[in-house]
Amino acid sequence: MTAAPILSVNRAQKKFGGLIAVNDVSFDVKQGELLGLIGPNGSGKTTMLNLISGALKPTAGEIALGGKAISGLAAHHIARRGVSRTFQLVRVLPSLDAEGNVMAGAVFGHRRLWGEEARELAHRLLERVGLAGKAHAPVAAMTYIDQKRLELARALASDPRLLLLDEWLAGLNPSELKIGISLIDELRHEGRTIIMVEHVMDAIRTLCDRCVVMSSGVKIAEGGVAETLSDSEVIRAYLGDDDA
Amino acid sequence: MNLTSHEIRIGLAGAAVAALAATLPLFDQGYYLSISVNIMLYAALCTAWTLFSGPTHYISLATAAFFGLGTYSVGLWINHLPYPVLVGIAALVSASLAGLVGAATLRLSGVYFVIFTLGLAELVRQLVTWAQAKFTTRMGLYVFTDMTEEHIYWMLLALTVAVFITGWAINRSRLGFAMQVIGNDETVAKHVGIDTARAKIVLFMVSGAFIGIAGAISAPRYAYIEPPSAFNPMISFLVVIMALLGGTKRLWGPLVGVVPFTIVMDIVSARFPNHTSIVIGLAFLAIVYFIPNGVTGLIEQARAKWQARQTAVGEEKAA
Ligand SMILES: Nc1ncnc2c1ncn2[C@@H]1O[C@H](COP(=O)(O)OP(=O)(O)O)[C@@H](O)[C@H]1O
Ligand SMILES: [Mg+2]
């Protein structure tokens, strides 16, 4: 592919006091690509997503979306430019119903819809993620997977140029996992550009075009899934880690 | 614009209540009108305050500053400009101050905001006192108009209605939806693209403008205005107490607190003029401790419990 990357991360760094959670990490994501961001717990994956989405500001380095710098912008500016995300610990809006939760993504984000348009999109997306008929269900009482579906629908509602999924498949039982994987697979075939932080190796093998491996804040490998996962440094990073 | 039948019903009920309230001066021109002006003043102030503090949960103690600026806008220029223009100036001045305060503090957590607004109100009062001593010879300003208590009452009623209509319009707007999302989860709000600081500042400005207008409407009532009365911090505290007593989840919640509390305060200040502060302090503690969600909160809780029991009974019967 010759197209310019949608996202390019150039020597991004994040320090928390003395701890360097993300250290000099660089990678690109191409249009329509599904990139897996993997690594042991505490290796800085969530922090990396936080730098991209603007939840945190990098202490050094640049991040550009579609060739324009976004590093240092506030989260709402980055969201309006087309970056959407889900959270590692699922975050739904408990006082709103499912429809309202998804509309929140449609109304303020990259595509700013309002009224009926936003409502219709919300219903389409609820159906899309498997929540048809639950538009007015109280979300606090939803099952875990339904809350995750809801969060995904909210993230999709802005029609993002880049979608960030932070362990979206974690905590699902085997049958739910199958549903989850095929849902993400559909998104990929629709041509969405996605960065997926994941521990579920099955999902990484089936879904990812490429992956970036982090360990202790540093990028230790990058490339096709099969070759990276067999890389000796990657194996060493994962050895002794329960999630491997 | 498409209204639901529920909205139309509430609108009609509100209009009926307002129309009824408007007839009050026809029945009494003395004590009852006077206390009704007080009630209407605090109705306007508390709903304007709740417009911002209800959805954001920020406690503002700057009410006296906005109110005083509104009063002074009229006092300073009553001999030079028409009264409606002064009301407009009052709104602008108060909204500007709210904008400045908001920009400086609404990124901070709630605790800082309370302290800052309290300090600000004091600062504005001291500045006005200082400026008056420096640039004029008098301590206060005379406001002579031909406005009567009835006029003031009707203007305050109109203002309260305007606050309600504004609150309703905001609720239907993007800003209202943004405030709902922010109230649920500020992190999510930012990540779906909401400029959370801006939303809060805009709301604070709208609220401040209405409080400034209430000050401008009240100015003719004082006849002689000076900083200790126009910027009286007691106004800020009373507004918080009454709004919390009524409950701030709904815009009409504070009204439930305003009516009884104003009447009780009137009796207390007549019978025990030296002990009003104690009563206010105790009331404040009692409200925060026993009914943190206000009377309307209590009612809603009771109703939710009752409904839960009804459905449980229904299920038992069905089973
Ligand atoms: N807000 C924060 N403040 C301080 N330290 C943090 C913060 N967020 C993450 N960290 C630290 O940064 C490191 C990387 O964390 P994280 O990015 O959550 O890892 P991962 O998602 O790969 O499990 C951890 O040591 C974590 O404790
Ligand atoms: Mg993580």
C-alpha A234/C-alpha B238 separation (Å) is 65
- Which uninterrupted H or E stretch holds B259? helix B253-271
At B304 the pLDDT is 86
Q: Whose CA is nearest to atom 14 of ligand 1?
A: A44
List of chain A residues whose C-beta atoms are within 8 Å of the C-beta of residue B195:
74, 76
Under 8 Å between Cβ of A170 and A199: yes
Mean of the pLDDT values across residues A149-175? 94
Residue A109: which residues within 8 A CB-CB, separation 6 or more?
A79, A80, A82, A84, A157, A158, A159, A160, B192, B193
The β-bridge partners of A138 are A97
Tell me which residue of B139, B128, B142 sits closest to B220, measured CA to CA.
B142
Whether the per-residue pLDDT at A14 is higher than 90: the answer is yes
DSSP per-residue string spanning B63-76:
HHHHHHHHHHHHHH
Cα–Cα distance measured from residue B261 to residue B18, given in angstroms and rounded to the nearest whole number: 20
pLDDT tens for the 319 residues of chain B, in order: 577 888 889 889 999 999 999 988 888 888 889 999 999 999 999 999 999 999 988 999 999 999 999 999 999 888 889 999 999 999 999 999 999 999 988 777 778 889 999 999 999 999 998 888 888 777 778 888 888 889 999 999 999 999 999 999 999 999 999 999 999 999 999 999 999 999 999 999 999 999 999 999 999 998 888 888 899 999 999 999 999 999 988 888 999 999 999 999 899 888 988 888 888 889 888 888 888 888 888 888 888 888 888 877 776 666 5
pTM for this entry: 0.89
Question: How far, rounded to the nearest angstrom, does the alpha carbon of residue A237 sit from its chain's CA centroid?
Answer: 22
Torsion angle in degrees (nearest 10) through CA of A109, A113, A119, A121: -70
**Would you place residue A212 in the very low, low, confident or very high pLDDT band (cuts 50, 70, 90)?**
very high
Burial class (CB in 10 A: 0-12, 13-18, 19+), A78: buried
Q: What's the gap in Å between A16 CA and the centre of ligand 1?
A: 8
- For residue A104, give the chain B residue with the closest CA: B192
Considering Cα of A202, then A207, then A208, then A213, what sign does the dihedral take? negative
Name the nearest CA neighbour of B248 among B182, B297, B180, B302: B297
Q: What is the mean pLDDT of residues A149-163?
A: 96
Cβ separation A80–B174 shorter than 8 A: no
Task: Say yes or no: B180 contacts chain A, CB-CB below 8 A.
Answer: yes
Q: Which amino acid does the sequence have at A9? A: V
Question: Residue B78's Cα: distance from chain center in Å?
Answer: 25
Q: Considering only alpha carbons, which residue of chain B is nearest residue A90?
A: B188
- Measured by CA distance, the residue closest to atom 5 of ligand 1 is A16
Compute, in angstroms, the gap from residue A60 CA to the centroid of ligand 1: 17
* Cβ-defined contact of B192 to A109 (cutoff 8 Å): yes
- Nearest CA to A85 out of B139, B190, B26, B208 is that of B190
Any alpha helices (H) in A2-74, and if so which ranges?
45-53
- Does the beta carbon of A41 lie inside 6 Å of ligand 1? yes
Q: Which residues have CB under 8 Å from B281's CB, separation 6+? A: none
Integer CA distances (angstroms), B250 to A38, A243, B316, in order:
47, 48, 34
Contacts with A85 from chain B: Cβ below 8 Å: 191
Task: Report the first-to-last Cα separation within chain A, whole angstroms.
Answer: 32
Q: Which of A15, A47, A89, A196 to mutate to test the pocket of ligand 1 (most atoms within 8 A of CB)?
A: A47
Beta carbon of A44 within 6 Å of any ligand 1 atom:
yes
- Interchain CB contact of B304 with A (< 8 Å): no
The more confidently predicted of residues A235 and B99 is B99
Are A237 and A40 in contact, with CB atoms under 8 Å apart?
yes
Q: Flag the least confident range among A33-37, A230-234, B175-179, B183-187.
A: A230-234
Instruction: Kindly state whether B4 is in contact with chain A, defined as any CB-CB distance less than 8 angstroms.
Output: no
Q: Which A positions 180-239 lie with beta carbon below 8 A of chain B?
A: none
Q: Which of A53, A95, A114 lies nearest to residue B184, judging by beta carbons?
A: A95
- Give residue for tokens 């997503």: A49
Dist CA A21 CA A28 (whole Å)? 19
For chain A, give the number of residues: 244
Contact residues, A window 8-67, toward B, CB-based 8 Å cutoff: 53-55
Interchain pair A154, B192: CB under 8 A:
yes
| pLDDT value, residue A244 | 42
Instruction: Give the Cα separation of B18 and B162 in Å (integer).
Output: 11
Nearest C-alpha to atom 3 of ligand 1 is from which residue? A16
Pick the residue of B3, B192, B195, B201 with the most A CBs within 10 A to test the interface with A by mutation: B192
| Residue B190 to residue A108, Cβ atoms within 8 A | no
Task: Please report, as a single letter, which amino acid is at residue A14.
Answer: K
Q: A77-132, pLDDT tens digit by residue?
A: 999 999 999 999 999 999 999 999 999 999 998 888 898 999 999 999 999 999 99
Tell whether B92 is within 8 A of chain A (Cβ): no
Following CA atoms A71, B56, B92, B233 in sequence, which dihedral angle do they give, to the nearest 10 degrees?
Answer: -130
**Atom 18 of ligand 1, nearest CA residue:** A46
Residue whose tokens read 């609720």:
B171
- In the CATH scheme, what architecture does the domain B5-294 have? Orthogonal Bundle (1.10)
Neighbours of B242 (CB within 10 A): 29
Structure tokens at B243: 């709004």
B178 CB near a chain A CB, below 8 Å?
Answer: yes
Quote the DSSP letter at residue B62. -
Domain A1-49+166-244 -> CATH class: alpha beta
Residue in A14, A16, A87 to alter for ligand 1 test, most ligand atoms within 8 A of Cβ: A16
> What is the structure's pLDDT at B139?
72
User: Residue A240's pLDDT is what?
Assistant: 54
> Does ligand 1 come within 6 angstroms of the Cβ of A43?
yes
Whole-Å CA distances, B247 to A81, B288, B300: 39, 11, 10
Nearest to B178 among A79, A105, A108 (CB): A108
Instruction: Return all residues near A224 (Cβ < 8 A) that are at least 6 apart.
Output: A210
Cβ distance of B193 and A85 shorter than 8 Å: no
- Rounded Cα distance, B25 and A219, in Å: 77
Report chain B residues whose CB lies below 8 A from the CB of A76.
189-191, 193-196
Interface list for B 186-215 with A (CB within 8 A)? 187-196
Sequence ranges of the domains in chain A: 1-49+166-244
pLDDT in tens, A61-70: 999 999 999 9
pLDDT of residue A239: 66
Distance in angstroms (rounded) separating the CA atoms of residues B256 and B249: 12
Q: Where are the beta strands (DSSP E) in chain A?
A: 7-16, 19-29, 34-38, 60-65, 68-69, 83-85, 162-166, 194-197, 210-215, 218-223
Q: Please report residues of B whose CB lies closer than 8 A to that of A105.
A: 192
Minimum-distance ligand to the CA of A168? 2
Instruction: Kindly tell me the sign of the dihedral angle through the C-alpha atoms of B248, B249, B251, B252.
Output: negative
Which residue is closest in CA terms to ligand 1's atom 27? A42
Does B242 touch chain A if contact means CB atoms closer than 8 Å?
no
Q: Exposed, middle or buried: residue B75 (CB in 10 Å: 0-12, 13-18, 19+)?
A: buried
Is there a contact between B192 and A80 if contact means CB atoms under 8 Å apart? no
What confidence tens digit (pLDDT) does each residue in A40-49 have?
Answer: 999 999 999 9
